[in-house]
Amino acid sequence: MAAIGGLGTLSGGVVGSAVVMLLVHLLSRVATMSGMPDTAPAILSYAVYAAVLILAVLFLPTGLVGLAASAHARLAHDREQP
């Protein structure tokens, strides 16, 4: 959870926990729909969580909080330019 949110800050752990919990809740709702096998919730949750974790480590080394901070800094810099 902290790796997804960002390891360097307290807010990274909070954001990562919230994102993962919302993702798990959404996946469990999807996996318990009619027509899904009994093992779908566990398999779907682990597979998607693994994919999100791998993508976060590869493409967001500073996590979601670091991404938001760099986007905010970029927007602030663009507003200062005449």
**The two three-digit tokens of residue 67, written as one number:** 């991404």
Measured in whole angstroms, how far is the alpha carbon of residue 17 from the centre of its chain?
Answer: 8
Give the pTM.
Answer: 0.73
Question: Among 57, 59, 71, which residue's Cα sits nearest to residue 7?
Answer: 57
- Domain boundaries, position 72: 2-80
Domain count of the fold of the chain? 1
pLDDT in tens, the chain (82 residues): 888 998 888 899 999 999 989 988 888 888 788 888 887 777 887 888 889 889 988 998 889 999 999 999 998 888 887 6
Across 26-57, b (16+ Cβ under 10 Å) vs e yields ebeeebeeeeeeeebbeebbeebbeeeeeebe
